Structure 1
Amino acid sequence: MAGAKYVYQIGKTNPVLLISSLKNHFTCHTRKSTVCTILRGITTTPFPEFQGDPQLKSHADLYNASLQNPDHFWGTLAKSRLQWFQTFNQIKDCDINQGHIRWFMDGKLNASVNCVDRYAEKNGDAIALIWEKDEPGTEEFVSYRQLSQMVNKMANLLKSSGVGRGDRVAIYLPTSPIAVAAMMACARIGAIHSVVFAGFSAEALAGRIVDADAETVITADEGVRGGKTIPLKQTVDAAVAQCPCVKRVFVYQRTGNPVPMTKLDIPLDKEMERQSDVCEPEEMGSEDLLFMLYTSGSTGKPKGIAHSTAGYLLYAGITQKNPAQTWFFKRSTRGRAPRRGFFQIRGEKVYVINVSGHRIGTAEVEDAMDNHSQVAETAVVGYPHDIKGEGIYAFVVPMENVSPEDADTLKAELNLMVKTSIGSFAQPDKILFTPGLPKTRSGKIMRRILRKVADNKPDELGDISTLVDPSVVEILVQRHSQEFQV
């Protein structure tokens, strides 16, 4: 799902999610009758369950207590923070050495009840979602009652279309309330959802659909980002052509522009209107799967991570319940110190590049370029970019020397391969052909050196004596200077 998500604690009971499609746009929304409040205690995130304990006077005390008696700590929070159909009879059964992790055994609950129902029942008019569309000044407010209706209608539509407990559903939607409703609708009927970023190419989407064996896809006619329309349905059609497992595609109208509809396609808005807004939630086991999320690994191929229900809900609920005036989510790639009152959330920078808000795994870009018959090896790093935050810099080792006449053609072909495999947002801004890469004797690429070259800081390369061939560094610096006229 494109765009950024920010969680605020507004008022004292109901959390609100701001869904923003606007790049670098940060706002704390309040309404006339709602005040952003700071909840103070032994930690910035309130833990009323432990406030009366005289031995817990600081965050460090609370943290140590969670380590010394995890059953009491997490069991107390699970009973207090989550709504159960059936309470668990054992808190945990974990052996990290064996990879055996189980929490809250024999408990029964549903994620949509915990995320939507209990707030809708308490105060249905409270704002659940603030949708800041790509078009400035067109934000929409969605109450918990409205969100509940959307979730229940979509859940009933999924069920009546043959989607059931344990089925996988791929969600390829733009940033919008319908995307939230889709996730919650899947959770309500026990289906496992897999959100795929609505900017990935048809090939990237197809790979995730096939790996999950998803029979259902939920998408939109088009997305809108930066004033441009994104042909989501067209991308889905190309992906589904490679996925024999897909039986149905629900199409949401984001722009309303006409798109080709096939025999697999179901108009989401129209069919939802016919459904009841009451759908009984499935009683899911604590360890039943809630969703799958794909990320790129060191091989460049997507890796699917599965999250179960109870443990994820509890930890996410605790870590994301932050006072609006205390916590603020801010994207950054340069490592600058945050201003007073701001908390900076940063990813691991070596293998992930943040390009205009898109988190791109370097391995995926490298894997796409390595498939070219004239490429022996590539290494991709990020570098500071005035507009994008970070740009993508690809160091490419060709099979043989590339003549100046052929260089532009090869660069264009490599960019096209990345665009086709991942998406246009992942195309390298700079490509430098080189006879080799700086490697240690164990074969590890020294990306630290590549980043300094890309950032025009040849005086900060550091120790290169451990490299198999230190002379390649001088070649990189010279070619970078000549190619980009530094």
Structure 2
Amino acid sequence: MTRYQPTYQHSIEHPEAFWAEQAKRIPWYTPPQTILSYDEQQHARWFSDGEMNLCYAALDYHVENGRGEQAAIFWDSPAAQSKRTISYREMRDQVAYFAGALTQLGVEKGDRVVIYMPMIPEALVAMYACARLGAIHSVVFGGFAPYELAARIEDAEPKVVVAASCGIELGKVLPYKPMVDQAIELSAYKPDACIVYQREAHRAELGTHESTTDYDWEALVTKAPFADCVPVKGTDPLYILYTSGTTGKPKGVMRDTGGYAVALAYSMQAIYAMEPGEVFFTASDVGWVVGHSYIVYAPLLLGCTSVVYEGKPVKTPDAGSFWRLIEEYRVKSFFTAPTAFRAIKKEDPDAKQLQKYDISSLKHLYVAGERLDPPTFHWLDDLLDVPVIDHWWQTETGWPIAANLPGIEPMPTKAGSATFPVPGFNVQVLNRDGEQAQPMEQGSVVIKQPMPPGCLTGVWRDPQRFHSAYMAAFPGYYLTGDGGYFDEQGYLFIMGRTDDVINVAGHRLSTGEMEEVVGAHPAVAECAVIGIHDNLKGQMPIGLVIPKDGFDGDEAALEAELIARVREHIGPIACFKQVLVVDRLPKTRSGKILRKLLRTIADGKDFGIPSTIDDPTSLADVHAAMRERSVGAADKAKPLD
């Protein structure tokens, strides 16, 4: 580690000097002199006296420096059966005129704009237009239920809502406007205006609400002026992003402008090994932090081309979708969630679709969003001739906390590990007493202050919630909420949320470790292990398993084999005695299995459908399977309507 270790140590021991150097990657209007400062609660703030505009840095700057005709975006939509290439100059102009349209509706620096759109270029245009004006955007995943959208409108208090007329998923057209109308009606706060981008698949009917006026996107832009970039401070907010899976009052993660821009520009080269002019493909959605960071902002800050994909890993039209995109757009680095590859592995376990495509442009494959289980890692590692890089981060951090870093020094990979902490992140593992855990000892994964640039700067309108949720448990540390450990070589293993550690007869056991064992069975495509209440032992683990497509074996025999495997690898102490074979597992739209919800059902507690769920019918299927097999107290849980 001749290059990584000195770089990492410098970032931890001399953070101001390290990040002052990285700040030179960004075209500032006024370069910062105050690199690191602290707010009244002693939380880090970066580049407070610097002035910049993120839209200028990502678009105008490149147009002025010779990249005007280079592709900024390749939009590819099997959903709409359409493709578009948008140059940096075209993107700059579309953004500037839409920003002009927003100014005509009264949007100014510091105002909020809620964006409710699918994966279309106009979603990026709207985000950049807000950044251009110094307005604060809050993107809500297109298709979220009206109640959830209303809660976010009520919390953010936007002057304008920007929506598309519809989304398209797996051939189904989902009208958005009725949901937006209902959300505005439900919200106690009423925005002044709603701008609707009309898609050909479904054109929305525009009308005037009691207090909110509808506008057609194209009609507004036609009459709009070309808006210039508004300078903002490095610590001025760029966006609010509500964390997935929240209940009750949504928790709006706030991101600043300067620190975020510097962190993203650094990460594109240090972590993703990209250079200007190359093609970066992130298969996610602009509604998630992954989309914000690595579809919208980071690639364009570096002068790369970003692939914007409106489709799924499978069934649009088949399990070769990603391979086709990599070949067609000559993608160098590709990033998606492990669940996407598990879906591909389930549908095409022998990767026959891959054989149809030339993916020689691909140099690195990145996965994040949830833990990369070793069976999926090995499937990809055996399949591809490029490094498979598991990296770990959160909505709150905005960019990776731990990763293999080919842009600094490539490291040998270890299945199940996110490799090493990224420079800037002082990652530690603490035991219950708040002391440093020993190598191989699991504990709470925390980040010692100061947090590096790019991380959340607060919870919108609720500074106390920010402190209590993240900073109070271990003073001086940010609580990630994940459990894990360092091994003897310093590799970091994230084993899942700390509430995924179960207590069986006084023994603390990791369900993630059991999932590794179950998922390694050759017939298993995907699995989840949860702990359910047991009167005698406190908790007992249960496995939920999706077999690979084409599995025609005996389910009872498979269950027996999986129970035996856990007993062999972890021991009888695990008390792993029950497995359910299911067709689907309930997941968020970002691909995370809703384990907490599964536990709630198994424990017989009432449950509802969370706003983040991808397919609500998957819940009903699992609930029915649990009732049929008398799992826990599932028969006492209120069934879905």
Provide the TM-score with structure 2 as the length reference.
Answer: 0.49
> How far apart are the structure 1 equivalents of 2:53 and 2:91?
16
Residue 155 of structure 1 is matched in structure 2 by 99
State the Cα distance separating 1:66 from its structure 2 match: 1.4
- Listed as ranges, the matches of 1:414-453 within 5 Å are 418=609, 425-427=615-617, 428-432=619-623
State the Cα distance separating 1:165 from its structure 2 match: 1.1
1:120 aligns with 2:69: no
1:109 aligns with 2:23: no
Aligned partner of residue 241 in structure 1, secondary structure: helix
> How far apart are the structure 2 equivalents of 1:382 and 1:219?
38
Residue 19 of structure 1 is matched in structure 2 by none
**Structure 1 pair 331/233, CA: closer, same or farther in 2 (3 Å)?**
same
Residue 200 of structure 1 is matched in structure 2 by 144
- Listed as ranges, the matches of 1:58-77 within 5 Å are 58-77=3-22
Residue 391 of structure 1 is matched in structure 2 by 586
State the Cα distance separating 1:104 from its structure 2 match: 1.1
- Listed as ranges, the matches of 1:185-334 within 5 Å are 185-243=129-187, 244-255=189-200, 257-263=202-208, 264-276=213-225, 278-296=226-244, 299=247, 301-321=249-269, 322=272, 323=274, 327-333=333-339
> How far apart are the structure 2 equivalents of 1:248 and 1:182?
14
For residues 218-267 of structure 1, what are the alpha-carbon distances to aligned partners after superposition, in whole Å with 9 as ceiling and x for unaligned?
00111112111111111111111123321100000122633221221000
> How far apart are the structure 2 equivalents of 1:382 and 1:83?
50
For residues 90-111 of structure 1, what are the alpha-carbon distances to aligned partners after superposition, in whole Å with 9 as ceiling and x for unaligned?
110147x934221112111101
> How far apart are the structure 2 equivalents of 1:298 and 1:164?
29
Worse-matched range after superposition: 122-131 or 294-303: 294-303
Is 2:131–2:238's contact at 8 Å kept on the other side of the alignment? Answer: yes
**Structure 1 pair 66/478, CA: closer, same or farther in 2 (3 Å)?**
closer
> How far apart are the structure 2 equivalents of 1:216 and 1:319?
32
> How far apart are the structure 1 equivalents of 2:246 and 2:203?
40
Is 2:80–2:201's contact at 8 Å kept on the other side of the alignment? Answer: no
> How far apart are the structure 1 equivalents of 2:258 and 2:114?
22
Aligned partner of residue 142 in structure 1, secondary structure: strand
Equivalent position amino acid for 2:193 in 1: R
Equivalent position amino acid for 2:334 in 1: F
Equivalent position amino acid for 2:92 in 1: S
State the Cα distance separating 1:330 from its structure 2 match: 3.0
State the Cα distance separating 1:215 from its structure 2 match: 2.2
State the Cα distance separating 1:116 from its structure 2 match: 1.0
**Structure 1 pair 140/389, CA: closer, same or farther in 2 (3 Å)?**
farther
Residue 476 of structure 1 is matched in structure 2 by 631
- Listed as ranges, the matches of 1:25-64 within 5 Å are 57-64=2-9
Residue 83 of structure 2 is matched in structure 1 by 139
Is 1:164–1:191's contact at 8 Å kept on the other side of the alignment? Answer: yes
| Unmatched runs of 5 consecutive residues or more in structure 2 | 275-279, 281-330, 343-372, 394-481, 483-495, 501-541, 550-582, 588-597, 636-641
**Structure 1 pair 426/245, CA: closer, same or farther in 2 (3 Å)?**
same
Is 2:136–2:237's contact at 8 Å kept on the other side of the alignment? Answer: yes
RMSD, aligned α-carbons: 3.5
Equivalent position amino acid for 1:193 in 2: H
Equivalent position amino acid for 1:108 in 2: E
> How far apart are the structure 2 equivalents of 1:382 and 1:252?
42
**Structure 1 pair 424/329, CA: closer, same or farther in 2 (3 Å)?**
closer
Is 1:331–1:345's contact at 8 Å kept on the other side of the alignment? Answer: no
State the Cα distance separating 1:424 from its structure 2 match: 6.5
**Structure 1 pair 113/346, CA: closer, same or farther in 2 (3 Å)?**
same
State the Cα distance separating 1:176 from its structure 2 match: 1.0
Residue 33 of structure 1 is matched in structure 2 by none
Is 2:116–2:141's contact at 8 Å kept on the other side of the alignment? Answer: yes
**Structure 1 pair 431/162, CA: closer, same or farther in 2 (3 Å)?**
same
Equivalent position amino acid for 2:257 in 1: T
Worse-matched range after superposition: 328-337 or 246-255: 328-337
State the Cα distance separating 1:418 from its structure 2 match: 2.3
State the Cα distance separating 1:77 from its structure 2 match: 1.2
1:167 aligns with 2:111: yes
Provide the TM-score with structure 1 as the length reference.
Answer: 0.63
Is 1:165–1:191's contact at 8 Å kept on the other side of the alignment? Answer: yes
**Structure 1 pair 136/197, CA: closer, same or farther in 2 (3 Å)?**
closer
For residues 358-417 of structure 1, what are the alpha-carbon distances to aligned partners after superposition, in whole Å with 9 as ceiling and x for unaligned?
xxxxxxxxxxxxxxxxxxxxxx99864768974354615558xxxxxxxxxx9xxx7xx5
1:129 aligns with 2:319: no
Equivalent position amino acid for 1:295 in 2: T
Equivalent position amino acid for 1:343 in 2: I
Residue 464 of structure 1 is matched in structure 2 by none
> How far apart are the structure 1 equivalents of 2:207 and 2:585?
39
Equivalent position amino acid for 1:330 in 2: T
Aligned partner of residue 131 in structure 2, secondary structure: helix
Aligned partner of residue 224 in structure 2, secondary structure: coil
> How far apart are the structure 1 equivalents of 2:243 and 2:616?
15
- Listed as ranges, the matches of 1:82-101 within 5 Å are 82-94=26-38, 98-101=41-44
Is 1:105–1:286's contact at 8 Å kept on the other side of the alignment? Answer: yes
Aligned partner of residue 153 in structure 2, secondary structure: helix
> How far apart are the structure 2 equivalents of 1:344 and 1:213?
37
Residue 343 of structure 1 is matched in structure 2 by 389
**Structure 1 pair 134/344, CA: closer, same or farther in 2 (3 Å)?**
farther
Residue 426 of structure 2 is matched in structure 1 by none
Is 2:163–2:176's contact at 8 Å kept on the other side of the alignment? Answer: yes
> How far apart are the structure 1 equivalents of 2:620 and 2:215?
39
**Structure 1 pair 136/240, CA: closer, same or farther in 2 (3 Å)?**
closer
For residues 115-151 of structure 1, what are the alpha-carbon distances to aligned partners after superposition, in whole Å with 9 as ceiling and x for unaligned?
1111122211000011111347632111001100111
> How far apart are the structure 2 equivalents of 1:327 and 1:259?
37
> How far apart are the structure 1 equivalents of 2:613 and 2:146?
8
> How far apart are the structure 2 equivalents of 1:265 and 1:429?
37
Matched residues, number: 344
> How far apart are the structure 2 equivalents of 1:138 and 1:219?
20
> How far apart are the structure 1 equivalents of 2:34 and 2:223?
42
State the Cα distance separating 1:308 from its structure 2 match: 0.8
Aligned partner of residue 199 in structure 1, secondary structure: coil
**Structure 1 pair 257/296, CA: closer, same or farther in 2 (3 Å)?**
closer
Aligned partner of residue 186 in structure 1, secondary structure: helix
